[in-house]
Amino acid sequence: MKCDKCNREAVIFQKYSSAHLCKDHFIEDVERKIKRDIRKYRMVEKGDTIAIALSGGKDSSALLYILHKLFNNRQDIHLVAISIDEGIHGYRDKTLKRARALTEKLEVPHVIKSFEDAFGDSLDDLLTGGKACSVCGVLRKNLLNKTARENCATKLGLGHNLDDETQTILMNYLRADIDRMMRMIPNNRQTGLVPRIKPLRSIPEKEIALYTYLHDSPLDVDRCPYAPDALRNDVRSLLNDYETAHPGTKYALLKGFEKIIESLKQTHTITPVKKCTECGEPSGRSNICKTCQLLKKPSN
């Protein structure tokens, strides 16, 4: 098949837009959407230091790559990559190597923090059984935020793609948690939390994979040995089935959620995040943050 915009060979057929695109027009399309979202939600502002949460996987690598491409020549914008080493043996060591190779190639400062240094144990050791994803998620979020702040970051860039975002939206609908929904508003500011930005939120996971591949970056085929959340898996496959039957569903879900959030903003106020009475870090709705709760008594 030929590209709809020129005569070259197409590398992708976007079912949701019915477009065939060649390599160059596909890359242009991905980057156009990312630039549009960055502008629309004011993700990047003059004077920003953007910390990029870099796992070394395809999403965070693509994020670092494109933010470097867009802002490398700007004197008033700084980038720093932050990687968290959870200590997952045989998995994280490999992706950290890829992360390190990319930051060296792009000459972006790179900070690596380990669970072991921060919490005294690796994830493998912290787990006394079960719930790896939720333990890991809590500790990683805590350490990412703290490290971003220590590096004077004014934004924390996350590699969440369209699939991740729509899965989270659907899970929030299921939980019916209005507060949590409202915290998904781009550029939501809370004391102690470096504002998170998600420049890839409009790019389907498959397109991020292709984008990374076309930039000669090796695709990560490794998977975290801890099984992912079973319910997120159900939501993922439901959304993928729905998208196959009705192309454009994920975009519709994202747009519908934005309309709902616009309404909620006019009638609700976001509950401010509390400060942990133990460590002083942001702690959501409870007085003691989840990290302190987890480290005090082993999860079971």
Contact footprint for its own copies (CB under 8 A):
170, 173-178, 230-231, 234-235, 238-239, 241-242, 245, 249, 252-257, 259-260, 262-264, 266-268
Beta bridge partners of 159: none
Nearest to 203 by CA among 12, 70, 48: 12
How far apart (Å, rounded) are the C-alpha atoms in residues 120 and 114?
9
Cβ proximity to its own copies, 228 vs 280, nearer residue: 228
User: Strands 10-14 and 19-22: what pairing?
Assistant: antiparallel
For the annotated binding site, the residues are: 3, 6, 22, 25, 53-55, 59, 84, 159, 164, 276, 279, 289, 292
Least distance between its own copies and beta carbon 252 (Å): 4
Q: Which is nearer to its own copies, 227 or 231 (CB)?
A: 231
Whole-number Å distance between alpha carbons of 272 and 269: 9
Binding-site sequence positions for ATP: 53-55, 59, 84, 159, 164
> 116 vs 258, which CB is nearer to its own copies?
258
Structure tokens at 178: 């209005």
131: burial class by Cβ within 10 Å (0-12, 13-18, 19+)?
middle
Alpha-carbon distance of 263 to 286, in angstroms, equals: 27
The least distance separating its own copies from the CB of residue 176, rounded to whole angstroms, comes to 2
Q: How far is the CB of 266 from its own copies (least distance, A)?
A: 6
CA distances in angstroms from 107 to 101, 103, 227, listed in the order given? 10, 5, 34
Q: How far is the CB of 249 from its own copies (least distance, A)?
A: 6
Burial of 1 (0-12, 13-18, 19+ CB in 10 A): exposed
Residue 118, CB half-sphere, CA atoms under 13 Å: how many? 25
Q: Which is nearer to its own copies, 221 or 245 (CB)?
A: 245
Is-contact 166 239, C-beta < 8 A? Answer: yes
**Euclidean distance between CA atoms 253 and 224, whole angstroms:** 28
**With respect to its own copies, which residue has the nearer C-beta, 184 or 209?**
184
Shortest Cβ distance from residue 60 to its own copies (Å)? 28
CB of 17 to its own copies, least distance (A): 17
Nearer to its own copies, 174 or 219 (CB): 174
Residue 5: C-alpha distances to residues 11, 20, 23, 34, 210 (Å): 13, 8, 11, 20, 19
Task: Enumerate the known binding-site residues for Zn(2+).
Answer: 3, 6, 22, 25, 276, 279, 289, 292
Greatest Cα-to-Cα distance within the chain, rounded to the nearest angstrom: 63
Query: Is the CB of 237 or the CB of 277 nearer to its own copies?
Result: 237
In the complex, the smallest distance separating the C-beta of residue 237 from its own copies, rounded to whole angstroms, is 8
